[in-house]
Structure 1
Amino acid sequence: MLRNDTFRNIALTSELHDYLLTQGRMTPDPLLAELAERTRTLTPDQAHMVVAPEEAALLTFLVRLLGARNVVEVGTFTGSSSLCLARGLAADGSLITCDISAEWTDLAHEFWIRDGVADRIELRLGPAVDTLRALPAEPHLDLAFIDADKPGYIDYWEELVPRMRPDALILVDNTLFSGQVIDEFPGEKPAAVHAFNEHAREDERVELVMLAVADGLTMARRLP
């Protein structure tokens, strides 16, 4: 494999990360900061699942860049990523977001209302693969964001790819999984992510890049 270590990603200290967020105008606004804090109070063991600030800003940026109107999210949690996706939607756009937890998504709904985006978001509770299978089968989605249970990633991918318009974008979170995807003996979740990464890499329906953003972000464009 060709590699030039000169171009390896720089290690982010906390000070450099703060600089990155400030210079990129990605510092969380008070509402997102409050949502992150409420999430830590509600479920401290799961609070790491809140989308990173730079990734949150990127979600809004990409939705706006695409002019996306039909967006699907797999994995709502407490709603920070769905809030950011909805912020970027065109005036007539809508977001379907999938989760199985009424408790977590109750908090999400509170913040969607406070941010003024609740009318753009439809929450569907239940197994996400069932929700995706119930969507129209023809290509109609402009953007999808997968950030849910890792063993389900391949199933979500297979339901979404045929439903994406040409040039539509699929974003997949945690595809580096704290570096554990290259462990010799990974646990269940990193092993599932590794399997997904291989599956997506070999999928000729898309072109993709993997970025060292937050915990790893794969971006895939649906080919015509």
Structure 2
Amino acid sequence: MATNQTEQPQALRHQEVGHKSLLQSDALYQYILETSVYPREPQAMKELREITANHPWNLMTTSADEGQFLGMLLKLINAKNTMEIGVFTGYSLLATALALPEDGKILAMDINRENYEIGLPVIQKAGVAHKIEFKEGPALPVLDQMLEDGKYHGTYDFIFVDADKDNYINYHKRLLDLVKVGGLIGYDNTLWNGSVVAPADAPMRKYVRYYRDFVIELNKALAADPRIEICQLPVGDGITLCRRIS
């Protein structure tokens, strides 16, 4: 899910550790956060993470360690033109905007502008709002229009997808034409609370059970797609990186 701290309330720690870590040891995950992540977290991202922690849907936010990972990844690949599908309050969007060069661009899409506007003042204060073009509404019609226009093929360096899991396959079919050869697509939540290896009759939260099979289908499809190289990482709730090779 679009789904984030040096000192922090215990409740906030629980939210971070309990949902986003697939490490068996909560203490080890907390060590990573407090040693390597929080001391280097930009002040704007810390502020937005703490604001988002008060949102009733705070589990949808990107974890702080994944935000740090995305920022470094974007710099390593010298990304300039990016897309984000699924924004929520904008933690991963802010991580991206801070990592891009001054003339970098992000096409950001989400069905809920209200959530985006929660984080927008922080993004503006950080001086990176000019890099973002936000579109409210479903992403698939926008992607179809971009493909029909013809001028967007192979123009994106990086695309991050953290939205409706039942449409991940549909996004993938379109995004491979929009990302450049050598560019990356990142799919979030590909380990889906660990449910991908749970028995079908195991106890699960309703939303976890609903999307579980869609995530499993996506993982199988990505592994079999000859047009990409993949790397599935146990960061946050699992992120799969797809590098387009043809």
Is TM-score (shorter-chain normalized) higher than 0.5? Answer: yes
Residue 34 of structure 1 aligns with an amino acid whose one-letter code is E
1:62 to 73, 93, 114: 73
Q: Distance in 1 between matches of 2:145 and 2:119?
A: 23
Cα offsets for 1:69-93 (capped at 9, x unmatched)? 1100000100000000111112221
Structure 2 counterpart of 1:35: 48
State how many pairs are aligned. 213
User: Does structure 2 conserve the Cα–Cα contact (< 8 Å) formed by 1:78 and 1:105?
Assistant: yes
Root-mean-square deviation (CA, aligned residues, Å) is 1.8
Partner-residue secondary structure (3-state), 1:78: coil
Partner-residue secondary structure (3-state), 1:215: coil
Residue 198 of structure 1 aligns with an amino acid whose one-letter code is K
Post-superposition offset of 1:181: 1.4
Structure 2 counterpart of 1:195: 217
2:189 to 147, 156, 174: 174
User: Does structure 2 conserve the Cα–Cα contact (< 8 Å) formed by 1:69 and 1:142?
Assistant: yes
Deviating beyond 4 angstroms after TM superposition, the runs of 4 or more aligned structure 1 residues are none
User: Does structure 2 conserve the Cα–Cα contact (< 8 Å) formed by 1:26 and 1:57?
Assistant: no
Partner-residue secondary structure (3-state), 1:24: helix
**What TM-score does the superposition give when structure 2 sets the normalisation length?**
0.81
Structure 2 counterpart of 1:144: 159
Instruction: Tell me which moved more, 131-140 or 150-159.
Output: 131-140
Partner-residue secondary structure (3-state), 2:53: helix
Structure 1 counterpart of 2:229: 207
1:217 counterpart = 2:239: yes
Q: Distance in 1 between matches of 2:75 and 2:145?
A: 26
Residue 148 of structure 1 aligns with an amino acid whose one-letter code is A
User: Does structure 2 conserve the Cα–Cα contact (< 8 Å) formed by 1:171 and 1:219?
Assistant: yes
Percent identity between matched residues is 32
User: Does structure 1 conserve the Cα–Cα contact (< 8 Å) formed by 2:192 and 2:238?
Assistant: yes
Partner-residue secondary structure (3-state), 1:214: coil
Specify every segment of 5 or more residues in structure 1 that has no aligned partner in the other structure, as ranges: 1-8
**What TM-score does the superposition give when structure 1 sets the normalisation length?**
0.88
Structure 2 counterpart of 1:3: none
Q: What pairs with 1:12-161 in structure 2 (closer than 5 Å)?
A: 12-14=25-27, 16-27=28-39, 28-41=41-54, 43-44=55-56, 46-135=57-146, 136-161=151-176
Partner-residue secondary structure (3-state), 1:185: coil
- Greater RCO, 1 or 2 (C-alpha within 8 Å, sep 6+): 2
